[in-house]
Amino acid sequence: MEAASPEPTTSAHGAAYAPEQSLLVASILSMSGGFLDAFTWLSLGGVFANSQTGNFVFLGMYGVLGKWQDATQHIPPIIAFLAGAWGAVRVRAPLSCLVGEIVLLATVMLLLPRGLPGPLAIIGIAFGVALQTASFRQVERWNYLSVTVTGNMLRAVEQLTSTNDPEAAHGARTMLTVCLMFLLGAAVGGFATVHLAESSLVIPIALLMSVLWVCCRSRHRPYRS
């Protein structure tokens, strides 16, 4: 029997969207993204799992300075991110990809205290983050990224300066909300990592599980006539 279609959520302007495209889901995923960048930077040797822009900057900077050991540690997360994004695009199953990310984060959290090398932890987190960001790329009718803020800030400015889009103000607020949730996630991630170390990963795991619950609940809720 064919699975029930996801029940769309309704925006403030009356448009219906799938739960994966809701502002609630985008906000939670962005908070998780900010958290994981703070966690990996503080606890795994100053390497990003999300921000591949940062990894490229450090790779180039350390490479030109001849600091090869520092430079090469930024290569594995870049490769892992590309592999995860490729897999997510091929599979096209957002909720399955979300489950994969949860499993990877839980594995890293459990194995880090038992001696899991930092580079392997970074690879696992970067792969899982790529599964997320390649699977959830739309909030309502706007494209966004849940693991960075630069593109989302640009889209907010585009919406603020738009003169022919009746939903421009709503779009700007949506993009700014996503950016602020990323900031909140980074702040919580920094605080939790300092005080809880690898155990702090339970927070992004809980956030991702809440997204999974929201999406699955909407998928199995019957339509109302």
Place of tokens 């998780």: 32
In the three-class reduction of DSSP (H, G, I as helix; E, B as strand; rest coil), residue 208 is classed as helix
Query: Using an 8 Å Cβ cutoff, are 220 and 4 in contact?
Result: yes
Q: What separation in angstroms does the CA of 194 have from each of 147, 191, 198, 199, 200?
A: 21, 5, 9, 10, 9
Half-sphere exposure of 177 (CA within 13 A, CB side): 17
pLDDT tens column, 165-184 = 888 899 999 999 999 999 99
| DSSP, residue by residue, 53-118 | HHHHHHHHHHHHTT-HHHHHTTHHHHHHHHHHHHHHHHH--HHHHHHHHHHHHHHHHHHGGGT--H
pLDDT of amino acid 10: 54
- Quote the pLDDT of residue 223: 43
Residues of the chain with pLDDT under 70: 1-16, 219-225
Return the pLDDT at 102.
98
Helix axes 52-64, 75-91, angle to 10 degrees: 150
Distance of CA 28 to the CA centre of its chain: 9
Report the pLDDT value the prediction gives residue 203, as an integer from 0 to 100: 98
Give the domains, in start order, of the chain with CATH numbers.
18-217 (1.20.1250)
150 HSE (CA, 13 A, CB side): 5
